[in-house]
């Protein structure tokens, strides 16, 4: 079975995002970029399936400009066998991304798509569900455990108030949540090896997908700042202030 | 214009997040409610401001595949389709959007007009105002941003609908609920959270629970505490966990990482207890205490 792992290049999660002065978005020029952390987890899960003998090939795919190749090299350094760049300079939203990925799925015919539950830039949490819908495949979102047996996959899902387990026929789409696994680091020898792994580039325009956004960003602003308050010395003082000043207890 | 809200019931009541979504939907015009599963019919029809309740008793576990297919078959009659930004809503609504080739709008925190909305991006470090050109707008709304409608006051008629045919591609296996007598994190009036400073899982019980008991508070955790195995993930407060906005939020032994702040900075009053006076959490706290939480938390419990 082949596993397709869509990955996204995003502002590194340790960087505090800065809103552009003209309110058009968040600064990405000259900012450290990395693979979306949830995608690393999704990739790790695919690699573990291969190591268990349940998958025979792991293919990473990303959508973006030429520079997005770096996250594909990272994916291959972690262990993906090969990678595909769907090249476009356009800003693409989950609607277009899921259409492009559908075209890749039709070409590659994976038995499983393993992807992050959301990207930490637009926080949309939508692409996996939309891809599954377009393919007519079942979906296991917010996965904390994945087990493949007898042509089906059992997915434990993180839901409000607990864990829900669903059984899905394959092929299926899985979106990874935090607790699914802890991704490995790419070792230096593997980073070197990844340079020689195959990376295919496909022009987004050749896939016949309408990339026009349906959601226009009108403006982006800083959230209102909270002001720092006062330091209290004793718990008695704290309780007194909560009672009489803040009136919350 | 008419909006459809996917509502969720729990223990015979309609969840607060769903009631917030109904409140948000009422800005667009008439509101119909869609209830999946056997439970909660009576509670749904009592919600104020609902034109009618569409009830699908057969979809007991709200699996995304049949639920999205059903919503797609109903969608044409509506200008907006909403749900709470709950795990159910986030599972089903984007799938519906995929079926309709629309771009869903996640985590809406403000409605500017029928097509223009505000939503947080970058873990709440920025707020994006977005405008949708889809003919049917599909969105999940943050419950902390819309005052919920009351639980009672209405008497909407109930239309019972059949579920779409089951294609066998997905089935429910089990639900393991976390056992707790405490209020749900997202609706609690008071939340007390612990971070890595609690040092291990047993301290979550021995230090946080007595204070939480006195205050009737829900207990939360930072991502670092969850990753360290001190607390289960459903207790995580933050962009990658739950977003809360209680009256009082008490942060103990957590530094205030960007992603944690995104999940609690809209709380009305924030108290921080931390041994490190430089911890970023003090920058957002209304009241800060610098010191050892192993002494301060028991003292706080006594003082309450």
| % of chain A at pLDDT higher than 90 | 92
Backbone angles phi and psi of B225, in degrees to 5: -70, -40
The answer to whether A126 contacts B239, with C-beta atoms less than 8 Å apart, is no
Residues A164-193: what's their mean pLDDT? 95
For residue B179, pLDDT beyond 80: no
Is residue A77 within 8 Å of residue A98, measured between CB atoms? no
Which B-chain residues 157-216 have CB contacts (< 8 A) with chain A? 168-178, 184, 186, 190, 215
Nearest to B248 among A11, A154, A248 (CB): A248
Q: Is residue A249 part of a domain?
A: no
Residue B179 tokens read as 């056992």
The whole-angstrom distance between B4's CA and the closest CA on chain A is: 19
Q: How many CB atoms lie within 10 A of CB A96?
A: 23
Rounded Cα–Cα distance for residues A64 and B160 (Å): 46
Rounded Cα–Cα distance for residues A74 and B8 (Å): 41
pLDDT score for A162? 84
Rounded Cα–Cα distance for residues B200 and B125 (Å): 30
Which B-chain residues 56-75 have CB contacts (< 8 A) with chain A? 61, 63-65, 68
CATH number reported for the structural domain that contains residue A196 in this entry: 3.40.50.620
pLDDT score for A237? 96
Bridge partners (DSSP) of residue A33 are A11
| Residue in B with minimal Cα distance to A237 | B303
Longest dimension (CA), chain B: 60
With contacts defined as CB-CB under 8 Å, which chain A residues touch B270? Answer: 226, 229
Which B-chain residues 208-247 have CB contacts (< 8 A) with chain A? 215, 223, 226-227, 233-234, 236, 239-240, 247
Q: How many CB atoms lie within 10 A of CB B179?
A: 6
| Residues contacting A96, CB < 8 A, separation 6+ | A90, A209, A210, A211, A212, A213
- Residue B182's pLDDT band, with cuts at 50, 70 and 90, is confident
pLDDT score for B34? 98
Rounded Cα–Cα distance for residues B289 and A184 (Å): 38
CATH superfamily of B190-303: TPP-binding domain (3.40.50.1220)
The answer to whether A126 contacts B270, with C-beta atoms less than 8 Å apart, is no
Strands across the sheet containing A215-221: A215-221, B126-132, B116-121, B110-113
DSSP state of A124: -
ipTM of the complex: 0.94
Q: Is residue A210 part of a domain?
A: yes
For residue A160, pLDDT beyond 90: no
Residues A146-165: what's their mean pLDDT? 93
pLDDT score for B289? 97
Q: What is the average pLDDT score of chain B?
A: 95
For residue B180, pLDDT beyond 80: no
pLDDT score for B175? 95
pLDDT score for A178? 84
For residue B96, pLDDT beyond 90: yes
Residues A221-242: what's their mean pLDDT? 92
List the domain boundaries for chain B: 2-160, 190-303
DSSP H or E run through A58: strand A57-64
| Residues contacting B178, CB < 8 A, separation 6+ | A161, A162, B232, B234
pLDDT, one tens digit per residue, over B194-241 is 999 999 999 999 999 999 999 999 999 999 999 899 998 779 998 777
pLDDT score for B144? 83
Q: Domain range spanning residue A220? A: 2-244
The whole-angstrom distance between A37's CA and the closest CA on chain B is: 11
pLDDT score for B2? 97
pLDDT, one tens digit per residue, over B54-90 is 999 999 999 999 999 999 999 999 999 999 999 999 9
Q: What is the average pLDDT score of chain A?
A: 96
| % of chain B at pLDDT higher than 90 | 87
pLDDT score for B279? 96
pLDDT, one tens digit per residue, over B14-30 is 999 999 999 999 999 99
The answer to whether B87 contacts A154, with C-beta atoms less than 8 Å apart, is no
- Residue A172's pLDDT band, with cuts at 50, 70 and 90, is very high
- Residue B259's pLDDT band, with cuts at 50, 70 and 90, is confident
For residue B109, pLDDT beyond 80: yes
Q: Which candidate in B170, B233, B249, B299 is best for mutational testing of the A interface (most A CBs within 10 A)?
A: B170
pLDDT, one tens digit per residue, over B280-304 is 999 999 999 999 999 999 999 999 9
CATH class of B2-160: alpha beta
Rounded Cα–Cα distance for residues B266 and B272 (Å): 14
């Amino acid at each position: 079975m082949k596993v397709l792992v869509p990955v996204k290049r995003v502002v590194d999660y340790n960087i505090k995002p800065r809103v552009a002065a003209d309110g058009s978005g968040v600064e990405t020029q000259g900012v450290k970029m990395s693979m979306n952390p949830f995608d690393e987890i999704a990739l790790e899960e695919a690699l573990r399936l291969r190591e268990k003998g349940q998958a025979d090939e792991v293919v990473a795919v990303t959508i973006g400009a030429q520079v997005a190749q770096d996250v594909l090299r990272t994916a291959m350094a972690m262990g993906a066998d090969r990678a595909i760049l769907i090249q476009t300079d356009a800003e693409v939203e989950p609607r277009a991304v899921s259409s492009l990925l559908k075209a890749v799925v039709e070409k590659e015919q994976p038995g499983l798509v393993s992807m992050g539950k959301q990207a930490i830039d637009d926080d949309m949490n939508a692409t996996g569900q939309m891809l599954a819908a377009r393919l007519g495949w079942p979906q296991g979102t917010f996965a904390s455990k994945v087990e493949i047996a007898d042509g089906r996959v059992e997915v434990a899902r993180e839901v409000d108030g607990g864990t829900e387990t669903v059984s899905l026929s394959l092929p299926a789409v899985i979106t990874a949540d935090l607790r699914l696994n802890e991704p490995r680091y790419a070792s230096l020898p593997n980073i070197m090896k990844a340079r020689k792994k195959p990376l295919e580039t496909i022009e987004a325009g050749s896939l016949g997908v309408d990339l026009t956004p349906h959601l226009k960003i009108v403006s982006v602003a800083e959230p209102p700042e909270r002001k720092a308050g006062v330091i209290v010395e004793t718990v008695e003082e704290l309780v007194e202030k909560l009672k009489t000043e803040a009136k919350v207890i | 214009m008419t909006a459809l809200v996917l509502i969720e019931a729990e223990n015979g009541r309609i969840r607060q997040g769903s009631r917030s979504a109904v409140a948000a939907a009422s800005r667009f015009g008439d509101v119909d409610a869609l209830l999946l599963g056997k439970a909660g019919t009576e509670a749904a029809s009592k919600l104020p401001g609902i034109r009618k309740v569409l009830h699908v008793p057969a979809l007991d576990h709200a699996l995304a595949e049949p639920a999205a297919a059903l919503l797609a078959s109903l969608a044409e009659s509506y200008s907006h389709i909403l749900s709470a930004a709950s795990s159910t809503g986030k599972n089903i609504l984007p799938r519906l959007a995929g079926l309709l080739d629309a771009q869903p709008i996640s985590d809406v925190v403000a409605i500017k007009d029928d097509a223009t909305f505000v939503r947080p991006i970058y873990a709440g470090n920025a707020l994006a105002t977005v405008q949708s050109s889809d003919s049917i707008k599909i969105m999940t709304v943050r419950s902390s941003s819309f005052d919920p409608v009351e639980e009672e006051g209405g008497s909407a008629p109930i239309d019972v609908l059949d579920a779409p045919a089951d294609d066998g591609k997905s089935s429910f296996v089990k639900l393991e609920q976390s056992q707790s007598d405490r209020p749900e994190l997202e609706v609690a009036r008071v939340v007390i959270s612990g971070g890595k400073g609690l040092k291990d899982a047993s301290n979550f019980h021995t230090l946080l629970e007595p204070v939480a008991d006195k205050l009737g508070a829900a207990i939360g955790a930072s991502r670092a505490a969850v990753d360290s195995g001190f607390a289960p993930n459903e207790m995580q407060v933050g962009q990658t966990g739950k977003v809360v906005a209680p009256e009082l939020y008490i942060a103990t032994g957590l530094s205030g990482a960007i992603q944690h702040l995104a999940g609690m900075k809209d709380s009305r009053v924030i108290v921080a207890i931390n041994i490190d006076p430089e911890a970023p959490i003090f920058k957002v706290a209304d009241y800060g205490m610098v010191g050892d939480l192993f002494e301060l938390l028991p003292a706080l419990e006594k003082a309450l």
